[in-house]
């Protein structure tokens, strides 16, 4: 039975690899470095999408990681057991809300707020569907994931370490910052990596608020413009359009392949970090 | 003992209760700890010896749902007084646990980082404090050439001495030691015991041990804690030889192995 | 003094962050339920859709989601049970470790990639059209790691002595599995299944290429060419036309149903999970 699963997984990977071959061969490295994507002319440069995915994920992490880790510190180190359980439940239920609902909230609320913020700060934007908007929405989505994993990481530090630190006369904040957090650092980084993986891989919510515009510049001001990520492209109509055009199909598959590799890399890195702590102990 | 040392720490009617179950971990314990001497606390496991230690440096405060009544005075001052800072108290009363705890980082960092945070040590005297603490803990010679190595590469015995050095870096007047050699082999035990004896003249030390021979080697005074009706009570205390060779209480007698 | 200040600021910042996170959760729940409440009515739940979602109900979306989730569950549970038993009882160290890596990797795969793979497999290779079975199988593969991990976690908490005792009584491996592992590990499988159901019900990307359409389907009659409607896909399509106020009620109502469904199922799993974690921690 497990063999079936493994076979399925292997088959899928091979399919992806094989499928992307022709497009990659046709474009070469230009696939990754140019940002011109005109499928009708068979021009496939994915750079803006790579930029888009990276920008949106990084933005999400910048916003979410400090809050998530601070919340995790509170949950793990500063509250009573009952409160911690209640909070952990709330955070995990938050993480379980379907992405399409987050997308809906983004479309119906976030868009307007971003619009008003753009006006307040006099940002010249055509609409509020931008990379920035997608980044903010992703931050909210990824927050509970990172928080709960960070909480697990902190809980993994043995009680004796905290006792010894307080016994030396260090305050609780000093104990947390100088003893607990460094000890939990690899697992905390793992939590952030997994959050990154989730942010990069998120399709539906991003699709709804990112604007889905191709061929944009790779620059900082572009964050205030509509953009495209690997996932929003794959989730759009081109996937269906590509059927029948082998080169186009292959290009789409390549996008999927890149996405998969990035997310898998983040997942494996996070695992390796978590295993490292187990060994040091 | 030609001079009669004054009592640095006095414990009066100390009781520790678990709020939920109502169980008393310690019941009405009263004890005097003389200055510059080693006081040993013996007794069967579960009798509350570690709890007693934690009451003295208020580490017990960190355990949830615990109620402490009674009085503990350090140098005449109530440790629960309004003007007492518990973190400062814990610096003045150092503690070493059975399982040595090593912090993330180098040997050097392990010894001095807490003292640095507190402000006792700065760049000017760090080297001096480092060396003094490690020498007092009988570890200097073994690690002086590898102060920048990771602390967890040390053996268990060395880690325990590192923990002692770390505690000493804070210049505590009192040292609490909870079964400091139980996790160590015979050779390391001997070194640690030698360390403890060496620290006697300058500090007040309380050692919890379940090994009577160790108590005999180290302690000047002895207190025997036994579990009665599920709570730890002090059954006997006095000069070490007296307690071990001519115990009065039945529990002590049982512990020491004298028939009758 | 500075140390006291640091301690205070530190605590306050952490508390604020935590309160913020919890408030976020409550706010999202509140908004969805509040807005959706207006749209919710018995008729909404049992009527068919009209006017492309602006009127009517979502009964076939509910049915579609139900079919997809049921298919996924019925497929995934036996597979997960088999995998879990194999991991716990029969697998050798090396095989176990590699399978666990594979499982973890699959768990991290973005749902859109699942959708694409499904698209390629069912559309391209098998030449199916949109099919509820395709969607269900794909979802099964997606939630499989969740089930296996929960199951194995529970199996691992079974004390070694119990298993040794069973062998000591002369039972063979198969018997031990039947009499000890399955009954005692069942709670873990149930937990994993609940979590898997919650996840499968809410996912859009895997089904949007393989199984779901927006309108026109009711109850599937065939296999290879019978699409279904689905709650998340319904919301997805409506959200793209969000400027139309007539659609609002439908969007919120569907979202409310979906969120309530997912949250309740996940919440059911919580007491079990807590118990399992406690038992595991005790060892």
Q: How far is CA A269 from CA A261, A264, C154, in A?
A: 12, 8, 26
Does the distance separating the beta carbons of A252 and C3 come in below 8 Å? no
Q: How large is the average pLDDT for residues B123-152?
A: 89
Residue of B nearest to A174 (CA): B117
Does domain B7-256 correspond to CATH entry 3.40.50.300?
A: yes
- pLDDT single digits (tens) B20-70: 888 888 888 888 898 889 999 988 887 888 999 999 999 999 888 888 999
Q: Which residues contact B9 (CB under 8 A, 6 or more apart)?
A: B31, B32, B33, B56, B72, B73, B74, B75, B174, B204, B206
Measured in angstroms, the CA of B244 and the nearest CA of chain C are apart by 38
pLDDT in tens, C258-281: 998 999 998 888 877 777 666 666
What DSSP state is assigned to residue C207?
H
List CB contacts (< 8 A) between B104 and chain A.
179, 182-183, 185
Cβ–Cβ under 8 Å, residues C131 and C64: no
Q: Which residues of A touch C208 (CB under 8 A)?
A: 235
pLDDT, tens digit (0-9, with 9 covering 90-100), for A78-93: 888 888 888 888 888 8
Contacts of C3 in chain B (CB under 8 A): 87, 117-118
Q: What integer pLDDT is reported at residue A279 of this predicted model?
A: 56
Measure CB to CB from residue B114 to each of A162, A170, A280 and give the nearest one. A170
Q: B45 CA to chain A: closest CA distance, Å? A: 19
Task: Please say if the pLDDT value at position A9 is more than 70.
Answer: no
pLDDT band at A222 (very low <50, low <70, confident <90, very high): confident
Task: Give pTM, 2 decimals.
Answer: 0.87
- Compute the Cα dihedral for B3, B8, B10, B15 and give only its sign: negative
User: Does A69 have pLDDT greater than 90?
Assistant: yes
Task: Tell whether the model's pLDDT for residue C236 goes beyond 80.
Answer: yes
Q: Do B164 and B101 meet the contact criterion of CB atoms below 8 Å apart?
A: no
Range picked from A66-75, B194-203, B223-232, C33-42 for highest mean pLDDT: A66-75
* Predicted pLDDT at A22: 64
Nearest to C205 among A2, A15, A235 (CB): A235
B64 contacts chain A (CB < 8 A): yes
Cβ contact, residue pair A161, B90, below 8 Å: no
More confident residue, A22 or A145: A145
Lowest mean pLDDT among A116-120, A170-174, C212-216: C212-216
Chain A residues near residue B89 by CB distance under 8 angstroms: 169
- CB A75 within 8 Å of CB A151: yes
Contact status of A166 with chain B (Cβ, < 8 Å): yes
Phi, psi for A82 (deg, rounded to 5):
-65, -45
| Average pLDDT across chain B, whole number | 87
- Half-sphere exposure (CA, 13 Å, Cβ side) for C89? 23
**pLDDT over threshold 90, residue A38:** no
Domain ranges of chain A: 2-280
Query: How much is the mean pLDDT over chain A?
Result: 84
Q: Do C16 and A70 touch (CB under 8 A)?
A: yes
Check whether B2 has a pLDDT greater than 60.
no
pLDDT digits (tens, 9 = 90+) for B60-111: 998 888 889 999 999 888 988 888 888 999 999 999 999 999 988 899 999 9
Which run of H or of E encompasses A178? none
pLDDT digits (tens, 9 = 90+) for A185-211: 999 999 999 999 999 999 999 998 888
B221-228/B231-239 β-pairing:
antiparallel
- Of the residues A83, A85, A164, the best mutation for testing chain B's interface (the one with the most B CB atoms within 10 Å of its CB) is A164
Q: How confident is the model at residue C153 (pLDDT cuts 50, 70, 90)?
A: confident
8 A C-beta contact, residue B70 and residue B253: no
| Number of inter-chain CB pairs under 8 A, A vs B | 63
> Which one of A81, A168, A189, A279 makes the best mutation probe of the B interface by having the most chain B beta carbons within 10 Å?
A168
Chosen from C1, C2, C3 to mutate, greatest number of chain B CBs within 10 A: C3
In the predicted model, is pLDDT for residue A15 greater than 90? no
**Best mean pLDDT range from A3-7, C47-51, C197-201:** C197-201
Partner B contacted by A167 (CB < 8 A): yes
Residue to substitute from C17, C121, C194, interface A, most A β-carbons within 10 A: C17
pLDDT at position A280 is: 55
- Taking the CA atoms of residue C102, residue C107, residue C110 and residue C113 in that order, the dihedral angle to the nearest 10 degrees is 50
Per-residue pLDDT of B183-213, as tens digits, reads: 898 888 999 999 999 888 889 999 999 888 8
Nearest to C83 among A1, A67, A103 (CB): A1
Lowest-confidence segment of A13-22, A156-165, A250-259, C34-43 by average pLDDT: A13-22
Domain boundaries, chain B: 7-256
Confirm or reject contact between C96 and chain A (CB < 8 A). no
The residue count of chain C comes to 283
Check residue C172 and give its pLDDT.
76
Checking if the pLDDT of C102 tops 50, the result is: yes
Quick one: closest CA in B to C1, which residue? B118
Percent of chain B with pLDDT over 70: 97
Task: Report pLDDT for A281.
Answer: 46
- Superfamily of A2-280 according to CATH: MetI-like (1.10.3720.10)
- Please indicate if any CB of chain C lies within 8 Å of the CB of B83: no
Work out the angle between the directed axes of helices A81-96 and C2-39 (0-180°, nearest 10).
Answer: 50
Identify all chain B residues contacting A280, using CB atoms and an 8 Å cutoff. Answer: 152
pLDDT at A241: 79
Of B88, B101, B104, the CB nearest to A160: B101
Q: Does C14 touch chain A (CB under 8 A)?
A: yes
Q: Provide the chain B residues 22-61 that lie in CB contact (below 8 A) with chain C.
A: none
Which of A104, A174, A230, A256 is the mutation pick for testing C, counting most C CBs within 10 A? A104
Q: Which residues contact B157 (CB under 8 A, 6 or more apart)?
A: B184, B185, B187, B188, B189, B191, B192
> B85 to chain C: nearest residue by CA?
C4
CA distance linking residue C253 with residue C61, whole number of Å: 12
- Provide mean pLDDT across the span A252-270: 87
pLDDT band at A65, cuts 50/70/90? very high
**Average pLDDT, integer, range A150-155:** 92
Looking at chain B, list the stretches that DSSP marks H as alpha helix, in order from N- to C-terminal side.
Answer: 49-56, 86-92, 107-118, 126-136, 140-143, 156-168, 186-199, 212-218, 240-245, 250-256
- What pLDDT band is residue A218 in, cutting at 50, 70 and 90? confident
The pLDDT of residue C283: 46
pLDDT-derived band at B1 (thresholds 50, 70, 90) equals: very low
Nearest by CB to residue B91, choosing from A161, A169, A179, is A169
Which chain B residues touch C6 with a CB distance below 8 Å?
A: none
pLDDT at residue B166 greater than cutoff 90: yes
- Could you tell me how many CB contacts below 8 A there are between chain B and chain C? 3
Assign A151 a pLDDT band (cuts: 50, 70, 90).
very high
pLDDT bucket at C73, cuts 50 / 70 / 90: very high
Q: Estimate the share of chain B in helix, then strand, then coil, as percent rounded to the nearest 5.
A: 35, 30, 35
Q: Is B229 on the interface with C (CB under 8 A)?
A: no
Q: Ranked by mean pLDDT, which of A215-219, B172-176, C158-162 comes out on top?
A: B172-176
Average pLDDT over residues A240-245: 76
């Amino acid at each position: 039975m497990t063999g079936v699963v493994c076979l399925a997984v292997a088959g899928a990977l091979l399919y992806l690899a094989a499928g992307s071959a022709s497009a990659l061969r046709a474009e070469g490295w230009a696939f990754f470095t140019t940002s011109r994507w005109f499928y009708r002319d068979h021009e496939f440069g994915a750079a803006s999408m790579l930029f888009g995915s990276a920008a949106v994920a990084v933005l999400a992490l910048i916003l979410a990681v400090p809050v998530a880790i601070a919340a995790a510190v509170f949950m793990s180190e500063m509250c009573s057991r009952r409160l911690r359980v209640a909070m952990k439940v709330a955070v995990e239920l938050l993480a379980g809300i379907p992405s399409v609902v987050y997308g809906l909230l983004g479309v119906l609320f976030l868009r307007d707020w971003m619009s008003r913020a753009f006006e307040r700060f006099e940002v010249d934007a055509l609409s509020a569907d931008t990379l920035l908007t997608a980044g903010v929405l992703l931050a909210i989505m990824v927050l509970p994931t990172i928080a709960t994993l960070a909480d697990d990481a902190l809980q993994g530090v043995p009680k004796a370490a905290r006792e010894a630190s307080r016994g030396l006369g260090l305050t609780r904040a000093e104990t947390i910052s100088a003893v607990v957090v460094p000890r939990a650092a690899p697992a905390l980084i793992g939590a952030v990596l997994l959050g990154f993986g989730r942010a990069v891989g998120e399709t539906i919510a991003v699709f709804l608020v990112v604007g889905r515009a191709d061929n944009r510049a790779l620059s900082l001001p572009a964050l205030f413009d509509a953009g495209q990520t690997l996932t929003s492209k794959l989730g759009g109509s081109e996937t269906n359009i590509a059927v029948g055009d082998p080169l186009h199909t292959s290009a789409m598959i390549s996008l999927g392949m890149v996405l998969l590799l990035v997310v898998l890399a983040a997942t494996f890195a996070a695992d390796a970090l978590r295993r490292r702590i187990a060994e040091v102990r | 003992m030609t001079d009669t040392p004054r009592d640095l720490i006095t414990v009066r009617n100390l009781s520790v209760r678990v709020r939920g179950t109502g169980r008393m971990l310690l019941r009405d314990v009263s004890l005097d700890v003389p200055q510059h001497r080693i006081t040993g606390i013996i007794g069967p496991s579960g009798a509350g010896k570690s709890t007693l230690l934690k009451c003295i440096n208020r580490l017990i405060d960190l355990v949830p749902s615990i109620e402490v009544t009674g009085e503990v005075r350090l140098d005449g001052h109530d440790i629960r007084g309004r003007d007492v800072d518990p973190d400062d108290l814990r610096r003045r009363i150092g503690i070493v646990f059975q399982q040595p705890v090593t912090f993330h980082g180098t040997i050097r960092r392990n010894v001095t980082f807490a003292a640095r945070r507190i402000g006792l040590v700065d760049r000017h005297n760090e080297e001096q404090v480092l060396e003094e603490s490690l020498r007092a803990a009988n570890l200097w010679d073994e690690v002086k050439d590898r102060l920048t190595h990771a602390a967890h590469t040390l053996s268990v015995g060395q880690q325990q001495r590192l923990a002692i050095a770390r505690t000493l870096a804070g210049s505590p007047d009192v040292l609490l030691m909870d079964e400091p050699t139980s996790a160590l082999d015979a050779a390391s035990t001997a070194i640690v015991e030698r360390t403890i004896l060496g620290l006697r003249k300058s500090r007040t030390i309380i050692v919890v041990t379940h090994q009577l021979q160790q108590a005999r080697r180290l302690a000047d005074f002895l207190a025997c804690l036994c579990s009665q009706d599920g709570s730890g009570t002090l059954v006997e205390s006095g000069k070490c030889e007296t307690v071990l060779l001519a115990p009065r209480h039945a529990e002590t007698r049982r512990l020491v192995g004298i028939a009758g | 003094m500075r140390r006291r200040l640091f301690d205070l600021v530190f605590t306050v910042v952490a508390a604020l962050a935590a309160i913020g996170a919890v408030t976020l959760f409550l706010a999202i729940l509140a908004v969805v339920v509040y807005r959706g409440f207006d749209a919710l009515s018995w008729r909404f739940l049992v009527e068919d859709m009209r006017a492309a979602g602006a009127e009517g109900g979502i009964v076939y979306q509910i049915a579609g989601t139900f079919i997809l989730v049921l298919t996924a569950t019925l497929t995934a549970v036996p597979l997960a049970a088999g995998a879990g038993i194999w991991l716990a009882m029969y697998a050798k160290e090396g095989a176990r470790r590699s399978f666990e890596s594979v499982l973890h990797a699959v768990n991290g795969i973005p749902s859109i990639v699942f959708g694409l793979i499904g698209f390629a497999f069912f559309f391209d290779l098998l030449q199916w059209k949109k099919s509820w079975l395709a969607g269900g199988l794909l979802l099964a593969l997606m939630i499989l790691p969740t089930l296996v991990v929960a199951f194995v976690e529970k199996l691992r908490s079974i004390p070694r002595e119990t298993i040794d005792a069973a062998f000591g009584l002369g039972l063979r491996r198969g018997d031990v599995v039947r009499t000890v592992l399955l009954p005692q590990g069942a709670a873990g499988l149930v937990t994993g299944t609940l979590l898997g159901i919650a996840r499968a019900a809410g996912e859009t990307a895997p089904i949007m290429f393989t199984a779901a359409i927006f309108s026109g389907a009711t109850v599937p009659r065939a296999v290879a060419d019978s699409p279904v409607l689905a709650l998340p896909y319904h919301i997805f399509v409506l959200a793209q036309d969000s400027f139309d106020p007539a659609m609002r009620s439908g969007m919120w109502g569907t979202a409310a149903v979906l969120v309530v469904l997912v949250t309740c199922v996940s919440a059911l799993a919580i007491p079990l999970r807590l118990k399992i974690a406690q038992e595991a921690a005790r060892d």
